[in-house]
Every structure is written in C-alpha cells, then in structure tokens.
Amino acid sequence: MTTDDMAVDPVTLEVIRNAATAISEEMNANLIRTGYSPNIKERRDCSCAVFDADGGMISQAENMPVHLGAMPFSVAAALERYPPESLSPGDAVLLNDPFRGGAHLPDLTLVSPVYADGELIAFAANRAHHADVGGSRAGSVSADATEIYQEGIRIPPVKLYDGGDLVVDAMELILANVRTPDERRGDLRAQQAANETARERLQDLAKKYGVDTLRNAIAEIQDYSERRMQAALAELPDGTYEFADVLDDDGRGTEDIRIEAATTIDGDSITVDFTGTDPQTEGPINAVFAVTASATYYAVRCVTDPDIPPNEGCYRPIDIDAPSGTVVNADPPAAVVGGNLETSQRITDVVLGTLAEAAPERAIGACQGTMNNVTFGGVDPRTGEPYAFYETGGGGFGGRASGDGMDGVHVHMSNTMNTPAEVLQTAYPLAVERYEYRPDTGGAGKFRGGLGLRRDYRVCDHDAAFSLLAERRIHPPYGINGGKAGGVGDDKLIRDGETEALPAKCTRDLEPGDVVSLRTPGAGGYGDPAERDPEAIRRDVKSGKLSPKRARELYDVDLEGVESNSTRDP
C-alpha cells in the first residue's frame, strides 16, 4: 500500500495507533489501582483491550496472553446477545460463560460501548480473574470438579450497567453466590472504572480527529497488522509440521491426555489443526475453543514477529481447526477451569513444538508448562469473615539460542506477578515460610532451562480447604536441539513433622499448622550440554542453582576450587 492509497496520513495514523495502545494501558493501570483483591492489585491477573464498532480488536495492554487472545470471543458473545442497535451510552455487559465467549468462570469480562457524536465508535473491554465466584470449593479453581455447575456462578451476557446505572438485581444475584461479596463488588466497580477511562479517552480522540478519521484509522491499523503477519509468515518455509505432547492426567484417573497439532504454513497464511487430540475428560482440564485460539495466536506471534501490533488484523491469517468434543474444544457441561490454566500451557508447548521445525533458530525449550494453581479458603480467625485466596506459581523458562532460560517466572499464558509474602500474610490467615529457587530443576543444555520455585504456605489458627491444580509433575518440560528436559514439580503436605506427597490435582482439608509446599517445574534446555561454557557451569554451582553432584553427572567440567553456597533440596 502506498501513501496515496491511505485514507489517513501516516503521521496521524501512527499517532492514533499509539494512542489506542496507551488507552488500553491506562485502562489496565486504573483497574489495578482501584481493584480490591490482591489477585488484581498485586498479582495483576487482569487484561484490558479496545475494540472497534464491529467487535474487532484495535489494541490491548500487554498483560495476560490467555485473556487477550480469548477476549474477542467475549465481545462477540456480548454483541450477539445485545446487538449494537440495542445498546445505549452507559451500558456495560458482563459475562463469564466459557461456552458463550468466556474462558473459565473466575474470569469476568465487562464490555462497554463507546459513543461520540451519537455514533457507536468502539467498545472497551476488560477481563479480571476474581478470587472466588462460588462453586464447590473456595477460590473456584476446584481440582475435583466434573461439570461446570460445580465451578461457580455461570453468567451469560447480561447488562451490569444500563444507561450508566448499576443493574442492582444483577449485582445482587452475583454477590449472593460468592464467598467474598465485598471483594467481588469492589473488583467489579474497578472493571467499570477501567472501561469509563477508555470511554473518556476514545471520545477525546474522536473529538480531536473526527469520527470518520478515527474509524478509517482503526481499519488501516488492523490492515497494517494483517500485512505484517502475512509478511512474517511468508518468511517461514512452507510445509506441514507436526508435534504432540501430553497432560499428566485429569485428576479423575485419565492419564497421558494427548494434544496433537499439525501446523501448515502456506505462503502468507498458517493453519493449526488439532485433529488427533484426545476427547474431553471428566476432570476439569478441558479447554473451550476461545482458550485454544488464544494459545495458538500467542505461539504464532512468538515465532513470527512479536512487535506486530496485536489486533484483529494480525490474527486474520491464522486458521484453527479444533475438533468439537476434544480437550481443546470441549462441549458443555464439561468442567473447564483448568483448561484455561493448564491445558492452555500445553497447547502453547505443542504449537511451539510444531513451529520449532519451521524456525529452529527461534525455538526454545519447553517452559514449566503449568500455572501451579493453589487455593485456600475458610474463615479468617482474625475477623470471623470468610476468605478465599488464589495464586499461581512461577517456574522455569526454556533455554533458547540466545541464552539460559529465566528462573522462577510466570510463563506463556500466565503473565502475572506473585503475591508478595507481606501482602499475603496481611490479607489472609496464611504465612509464607520458605520461598526460593529449586536447584537442579533447569534442563541441561548449551543454554540451560530456568529453575522452578519452592513456596511453603503455613495455615495459621484455623481449618482451611485447599485445592491444587497443576501439571508437569510426571512428564517433564522437553528440551530442544539436544537440550535435556527440565525437572518436574513435586508438591508436599507437611503435618506434625510428617511429609505427604500431594497429587498434582487434589483437594485437602487442612488443620492449623499444616504446611503446603508448592514445588514447581523447571524448564527444558537448548542445545548440546557438551557445548555449555564451563564458566557458566561453575557459576551455577557457586550460586547454588546446580549441585556439584548434578554438575558432574550432566557436564564434563572441572569443579576444583568451586564451592556451592547452597545445600537446599529442590
């Protein structure tokens, strides 16, 4: 496209493109600042985006990949229920139903139309993970759910605000079905405030440039991203590339659940076909199509050009075939809470595995491949009020051609932070007794995989309900290009000095003083371990990231004079 072909001059176009991104980022900053729960204020388990009048994404804040690729499906569901002609200024549509545009029930999405000069010009949308939305277990991430009805309140697209006024009946219905209503009310108000931020900023843009110019600029921004993605795909070799990996189990006796993909690159387009993937399961690790699409979009962007502006246009050249009734496109009433959390990670591993053959120089060893979901719930003895705590755990990032993987970080579909120990212990009747890297969990290679983490939670002065929903406890994160697999997770319950191994998907009733020790996976290495710089090996041993014993087993290196500063177990 030449400058003469453009409806908006290049300078104005670039200003509006960056302004749209800034709006999404400001939305997210306000959501985090005004949220009530530590899960939003501290962990930042939320995402924001702006959409055009037809529901196509314009821009997003760079937050949770599993939210962002799936959010267009929520906007589409909201518009299917409330066509644009039925909406008015001040409306806001809330939903979380995974089978109607959502991902899993704790993720509540709020969609608000934006008007200028009486015309619908855009939609503001945000998604936030609420620490409890009801269901059979506090925290609403139950490892033992077998159908969605056990996972919490299921909200189809409904108006939470009508003409700027709160729909009190809808709010009261939601709050009556959760364990922590004050926190939920506060987080929903924060979501509304975030969308109001976008409304003001978008109206300012429309006033400055005019509705027609803004609309034309939005279309050209999306077309620009499409061209960039097509060009990046055209640089990859044509062909069909296949890869498969497995989930450990579904927590209900089904093991080695296979996810298989065949990725076909044909010129400037790409198709990812999940035919061959196992059927949906009884346990809660089923993913809906929106989650599978989100993971696929993310993986393709990683291997092509992550700098392509993320919007509807950049996804147009990507086609996805996910057979209905499988673990990557489950039918109702499947339990799906872990599909968004765990299966999304494995889908990412598999799609990246297919693309590693097409672009080996951009491949990485498998990251930890799990979010390590923990929930605690009960009655806080300090206040006499119910509480629900939810958190995910970081782990290893895969080794890559440019260097070692990062240690103890959230990876791929999860881009949150941890809950600082000080905040956790202030907000909940829990204590963090140990928080450290797990030595020897990074897969060996020319560039090693990152280390997993150990985080020990003690229950203080009350009985608590606990749930763990995790992966990579049996099948380790794979290495690549000769790299070795990373270490698996290994979780424990410590009671009265006795240690019990915890299954990766389990629920437990805990007593005062019990300690749950979450021990997360490392990541796969990249390249032949024989090519690793001996000085890097000595540095890892000296820092305690690699034990002398494992160093001698994995690498042929002289450790004379090198002392490890750690005797910790992994």
Give the tens place of pLDDT for each residue, 316-333.
999 999 999 999 999 999
Between helices 289-303 and 71-81, what is the axis angle to 10°?
140
Which residues lie closer than 8 Å to 453 by C-beta, 6 or more apart?
393, 394, 395, 408, 435, 436, 437, 438, 518, 519, 520
Number of domains within the chain: 2
Q: Sorting pLDDT into bands at 50, 70 and 90, what band is 563? A: low
pLDDT at 101 (0 to 100): 87
3-state secondary structure of 321: strand
Look at residue 194 and tell me if it is in a domain. Answer: yes
Look at residue 545 and tell me if it is in a domain. Answer: no
pLDDT at 62 (0 to 100): 79
Look at residue 127 and tell me if it is in a domain. Answer: yes
pLDDT at 5 (0 to 100): 59
pLDDT at 569 (0 to 100): 53
Q: Sorting pLDDT into bands at 50, 70 and 90, what band is 557? A: confident
Rounded distance between C-alpha atoms, residue 243 and residue 111, angstroms: 37
pLDDT at 417 (0 to 100): 82
Q: Which of 227, 250, 283 is the endpoint of a domain?
A: 227
Q: Model confidence over 510-521: pLDDT tens digits?
A: 999 999 999 999
Query: In 162-210, which residue ranges form alpha helices assigned H by DSSP?
Result: 168-175, 181-209
Nearest-CA neighbor of 470 among 285, 288, 311, 310?
285
List Cα–Cα distances, 455 to 246, 289, 394, 408, in angstroms: 26, 33, 10, 11
Look at residue 67 and tell me if it is in a domain. Answer: yes
Look at residue 313 and tell me if it is in a domain. Answer: no
Look at residue 510 and tell me if it is in a domain. Answer: yes
Q: How many CB atoms lie within 10 A of CB 9?
A: 12
- Identify each DSSP E strand in 251-398 by its residue range: 255-266, 269-273, 318-321, 373-379, 386-391
pLDDT at 416 (0 to 100): 84
pLDDT higher than 60, residue 567:
no
Q: Model confidence over 261-296: pLDDT tens digits?
A: 999 999 999 999 999 999 999 999 999 999 999 999
pLDDT at 40 (0 to 100): 92
Look at residue 465 and tell me if it is in a domain. Answer: yes
The DSSP call for residue 279 is B
pLDDT higher than 90, residue 178:
yes
Average pLDDT over residues 549-553: 91
What domain range includes position 169? 3-227
Strand order in the sheet with 386-391: 386-391, 373-379, 464-469, 505-510
Distance of CA 520 to the CA centre of its chain: 16
Q: Which of 172, 201, 227 is the endpoint of a domain?
A: 227
More confident residue, 297 or 5: 297
**Do residues 489 and 520 lie in contact, with contact meaning Cβ atoms separated by under 8 Å?**
yes
Q: Please tell me the number of Cα atoms within 13 Å of 533 on its side-chain side.
A: 7
> What is the pTM assigned to this prediction?
0.94
Q: Model confidence over 116-171: pLDDT tens digits?
A: 999 999 999 999 999 999 999 999 999 999 999 999 999 999 999 999 999 999 99
Average pLDDT over residues 403-410: 96
Q: Sorting pLDDT into bands at 50, 70 and 90, what band is 540? A: very high
Instruction: Quote the mean pLDDT of the chain.
Output: 94
Average pLDDT over residues 459-474: 97
pLDDT higher than 70, residue 434:
yes
Look at residue 447 and tell me if it is in a domain. Answer: yes
Q: Which two three-digit tokens encode residue 165?
A: 């006024």
Q: Which two three-digit tokens encode residue 265?
A: 């690159």
Nearest-CA neighbor of 393 among 563, 548, 228, 522?
522
List Cα–Cα distances, 516 to 185, 338, 370, 510, 532, in angstroms: 30, 20, 18, 9, 36
pLDDT higher than 80, residue 63:
no
Rounded distance between C-alpha atoms, residue 375 and residue 387, angstroms: 10
pLDDT higher than 70, residue 394:
yes
Q: Sorting pLDDT into bands at 50, 70 and 90, what band is 440? A: very high
pLDDT higher than 80, residue 58:
yes
Q: Model confidence over 292-308: pLDDT tens digits?
A: 999 999 999 999 998 89
Rounded distance between C-alpha atoms, residue 375 and residue 508, angstroms: 10
Q: Model confidence over 329-367: pLDDT tens digits?
A: 999 999 999 999 999 999 999 999 999 999 998 999 999
- Identify each DSSP E strand in 40-106 by its residue range: 46-52, 57-60, 92-95
The DSSP call for residue 341 is I
pLDDT at 68 (0 to 100): 73
Rounded distance between C-alpha atoms, residue 39 and residue 59, angstroms: 24
In angstroms, the first-to-last Cα distance of the chain is 56
